[in-house]
Amino acid sequence: MNCISDRLFELLDGKRLEEKQHEAFVLQTVSEDGWPHAAMISAGEIIALSRTDIRIALWKNTATAANILRTGKAQFTAWWEGAAHYVKLQCEPLPTMKEAEYDRDRFACRIVSVKEDVAKYADLTSGVHIQLHSPEEVLNRWDKTLEELKQ
């Protein structure tokens, strides 16, 4: 399968960020020495433009951004509505936005494959949850970041 489900699309649609502010995800890349590299991202740093196209904003000069620039690949993992979602991505850098309020490395990603993992013997009840220190400030930044990713 190379498209995300309706339920995962709804999570990543960039809407109702206040309701999604506690959700955190893992973005995995491969380091130069061949080891897996994991980074946490939030609902304000990833947006699904469609069921096959995702955009990601990362802080400048991070190991994760460098890994994506080098390989063009990443895997996004989310835990949502009883399933673990593993989404393999082929990524290309987006042009720098000179007028961007927050200086980010931005990527346009095409979904290569999706796996939804559900156990028959247990219910997945939560994933990674976060508590924002300054919700109003962070939600405002997320809104602007996602708007810039749509451009």
Domain-located, residue 75: yes
Number of domains in the chain: 1
Domain-located, residue 1: no
Q: What angle do CA 47, 12, 30 make, to 5 degrees?
A: 65
Could you tell me if 38 and 126 are in contact, meaning their C-beta atoms sit under 8 angstroms apart? no
pLDDT band at 110 (very low <50, low <70, confident <90, very high): very high
Q: Is the pLDDT of residue 124 over 90?
A: no
Residue 7 three-state SS: helix
Domain-located, residue 43: yes
- Closest listed residue to residue 112, CA positions, set 56, 68, 54, 71: 54
- Number of neighbouring beta carbons within 10 Å of residue 74: 25
Domain span including residue 54: 6-150
Domain-located, residue 143: yes
Domain-located, residue 76: yes
Q: CATH code at 17?
A: 2.30.110.10
Q: Is the pLDDT of residue 1 over 80?
A: no
Global pTM exceeds 0.85: yes
Q: Is the pLDDT of residue 31 over 90?
A: yes
Could you tell me if 45 and 59 are in contact, meaning their C-beta atoms sit under 8 angstroms apart? no
Domain-located, residue 114: yes
Share of the chain above pLDDT 70, in %: 100
- Closest listed residue to residue 20, CA positions, set 40, 4, 43: 43
